[in-house]
Amino acid sequence: MPEKALEIRGLLKAFGRNQVLKGIDLSLESGTVTVLMGANGAGKSTLVKVICGHHRADGGDLMLAGRPFSPADASDAISKGVVTVHQSIDDGVIPELDVANNLMLDRLVETGSGFFVHEGKLRKEAQKVAASMGIDVDLKARVADLSVADRQMIAIARAMARAPKVLILDEPTSSLSAAEANRLFALIDRLRDQGVAILYISHRLSDIRRVADRILCMRDGSISGVFETQPLDYEAAVTAMLGHRMTEVDISVEKGGAPVLELDGIRLSTDGNRFDLSARDGEVIALVGLLGSGKSRLAETIYGMARLEGGEMRIDGKPFRPASVHDAIAHGVFMSPKDRGSNAVIPAFDIANNMTLPFLSRFSAGSFLQSRRLRSRSREMNERLGVVCQSETDGIGTLSGGNQQKVMIARWLMEPCRVLLLDEPFQGVDIGARRDIGRQIRASARGRATLVFMTEIDEALEIADRIVVMTEGTIAGEHINENIDLAALVSDISGTEAGLAGHSA
C-alpha cells in the first residue's frame, strides 16, 4: 500500500456568508500524481491556500504523514514538508539573484551562512541539485534574465531542495510553450519516482492526460468524483466536474462577409517576411503559434502598440496605420490582452465597473439611468458566461481567477467594434467555461472581424472558422476549420509537440 502523505477530512472554509469549502475529504499518496480538476470558482485555490498555510480552515482535520497538520502560515507549511509552486512563479524565486544562489537559498538562510561566502561550495551543491532534477541552465545566469519556463523549473528545484513530502503545482503550464511543458512533465516524472506526493491543478486536458495517476473532481466546494482506475475516464471526470456533459460550440462558417481587416504584404520586423491576411465580417480567425512565433507582435501591431515595419493595413478598405492604442481604438479596434492580472483587472472596482470600464466615460454624465443600464447589461453578461459570484456588485478581487477572466472577456464582447483582438482568452478557464466563452465569442461575431491569438490547437478548433498558423513572425499556413486536414495543420506548426498531445485525431 502506498503511504498516505496527506489526508484531509471534512475541511470547511467560508468567506463571510460564502461557504467555499463544504467538507472536503481527500488523500494524497506518496509517489503519485493526483490531478485536481474543478470548474472556475469551485474552490481549488482556496483548498490549496488552506493546505499551504495561507488561509486557516474553519473546521476539519489535516494529517501529514499520519500526524496532525495545522500550518500557522506559509513558511510553517514549508518547514513541515508541504511546498506549493503558485501560478505566479516569481513567488518561488528571487529574480535578482543568480541560479546557484536561488537553488541554495533555503540552505543559506537555514545555516545563516549568508550569500557568496563559500562560493565554490555553493556552486558545487547547486550543480548537484540542478543535475538531480535534469535542469540544464547556466548557474551564473540572473534568474530575471531566464525564460518563464526556466524560472519555473528553478522555483520547483528550489522547492525540492527542501525535500518536501507534498508538492502542489497550481496550473504550472499556463505560461509555458509546448516544448517547455514537456520538460516540466519529465521533471514531474522524476519527482514521482522519488516518492513525492504531487497535487497538480490544471484545466488542460492534454496536461491531465500526460501526468495524472488519479483525478479528483471538485464542484461547488465538494469533491464530486474520484477516478483512479486505469485507464482514467476523462469524459466522466469532466462530467463530474461540471455536473453535466459538455455542449459543443456551434461552428457554422460565415461565408461571404465583406473584408473588414486587410493586411497587405505586412512585415512585423525590419528583416521579417512579408505576409497577407484578410478577416471578414462575422469571421472568427484563430492565430495559432508558439511563444516567439510573432502572434503577440501581430496583435500589438494592429492595436497600435508596435510599429508596422512594412506593407499596408486597411480597415473597411481605408488605410489604417495606428500611431497609438488610442488611435487604434478610435478606428474601432479593441483588444483583450493576456495576463489579466497586470494588464486589465482594476482590483478596487466591482464586477460591473470592471466589465463596463471602457464605456464608463461615454456614460459618465453620471446618469442614474445609464448606470442602471450598464449594471443590468453586466448582470446579463454574468449570466450568459456563468460567472460564479453573489452579484455584479462583488469586488473583482473576490472572484476566482477563471471568473475574473470571464469578466475581462465580457468587457470586450459587450461593445460593438470593427476588429476584436483576443489574446489567449482561455487562459486559466475551466473546460466548461471555455465553451461558454467560445459560444459568446461566436454569438458576438457579427458586425466585426474577430482575431483570437492562442497556443492550443484544441482551443482553436473549438471556436474558429479559420486557423492561421504563425511561425517566425510570418504566416506558415491557413486552414478552414470545416473538414480540416489535421495532419496538414500539425505539419504547419512544425516542431510543435505538446500543444497537440491532447488531440486524439
Ligand X SMILES: Nc1ncnc2c1ncn2[C@@H]1O[C@H](COP(=O)(O)OP(=O)(O)OP(=O)(O)O)[C@@H](O)[C@H]1O
Q: How far is the CB of 126 from ligand X (least distance, A)?
A: 33
Residue 107: enclosing H or E segment and its boundaries? helix 99-111
Residue number with CB closer to ligand X (24 or 104): 24
Residue number with CB closer to ligand X (20 or 457): 20
Q: How far is the CB of 59 from ligand X (least distance, A)?
A: 16
Q: Enumerate residues 407-446 that contact ligand X by CB under 6 A.
A: 430
Cell of 26: 481527500
**Radius of gyration of the chain from its Cα atoms, rounded to whole angstroms:** 24
Residue number with CB closer to ligand X (434 or 479): 434
Residue 478: enclosing H or E segment and its boundaries? strand 474-480
Distance from C-alpha of 162 to C-alpha of 81, rounded to nearest angstrom: 7
Strands 333-336, 419-423: pairing kind: parallel
Cis peptide before 231 (omega within 30 of 0): yes
**Residue 174 interacts with ligand X (CB under 6 A)?**
no
Distance from C-alpha of 429 to C-alpha of 129, rounded to nearest angstrom: 34
Residue number with CB closer to ligand X (176 or 313): 176
- The mark string for 347-386 relative to ligand X (x by CB under 6 A, - otherwise) is ----------------------------------------
**Residue 20 interacts with ligand X (CB under 6 A)?**
yes
Q: Enumerate residues 381-400 that contact ligand X by CB under 6 A.
A: 388, 398-400
Q: How far is the CB of 99 from ligand X (least distance, A)?
A: 30
Q: How far is the CB of 73 from ligand X (least distance, A)?
A: 16
Does residue 461 contact residue 275 with C-beta atoms inside 8 Å? no
**Residue 199 interacts with ligand X (CB under 6 A)?**
no
Looking up cell 514537456 gives 182
Which one among 6, 8, 30, 41 touches ligand X, defined by CB under 6 A? 41
Q: Provide the strand spans (E) within 220-311.
A: 222-227, 259-266, 275-280, 284-288
Q: How far is the CB of 50 from ligand X (least distance, A)?
A: 10
**Residue 45 interacts with ligand X (CB under 6 A)?**
yes
**Residue 15 interacts with ligand X (CB under 6 A)?**
yes
Residue number with CB closer to ligand X (11 or 20): 20
Among 463, 386, 397, which residue's Cα sits nearest to residue 426?
463
Cell of 199: 497535487
Alpha-carbon dihedral angle through residues 382, 388, 389, 392, given to the nearest 10 degrees: -10
Residue number with CB closer to ligand X (95 or 397): 397
Q: How far is the CB of 123 from ligand X (least distance, A)?
A: 38
Which one among 24, 30, 32, 44 touches ligand X, defined by CB under 6 A? 44
Residue number with CB closer to ligand X (294 or 402): 402
Distance from C-alpha of 498 to C-alpha of 502, rounded to nearest angstrom: 7
Looking up cell 472536503 gives 24
Which one among 4, 12, 18, 371 touches ligand X, defined by CB under 6 A? 18
Among 341, 307, 352, which residue's Cα sits nearest to residue 325?
307
State the Cα angle at 379 between 377 and 384, rounded to 5°: 95
Judged by CB under 6 A, the number of residues near ligand X is: 19
In one-letter notation, the amino acid at residue 45 is S
**Residue 53 interacts with ligand X (CB under 6 A)?**
no
Residue number with CB closer to ligand X (17 or 255): 17
Distance from C-alpha of 114 to C-alpha of 19, rounded to nearest angstrom: 45
**Residue 401 interacts with ligand X (CB under 6 A)?**
yes
Residues with Cβ < 8 Å from 19, sequence gap 6 or more? Answer: 12, 13, 221
Residue number with CB closer to ligand X (26 or 187): 26
In one-letter notation, the amino acid at residue 403 is N
Cell of 49: 491556500
Q: Would you tell me how many other CB atoms lie within 10 Å of the CB of residue 230?
A: 9
Residue number with CB closer to ligand X (55 or 183): 55
Q: How far is the CB of 46 from ligand X (least distance, A)?
A: 3
**Residue 177 interacts with ligand X (CB under 6 A)?**
no
Which one among 33, 35, 37, 42 touches ligand X, defined by CB under 6 A? 42
**Residue 402 interacts with ligand X (CB under 6 A)?**
yes
Residue number with CB closer to ligand X (172 or 473): 172
Q: List interacting residues with ligand X (CB under 6 A).
A: 15, 18, 20, 38, 40-46, 388, 398-403, 430
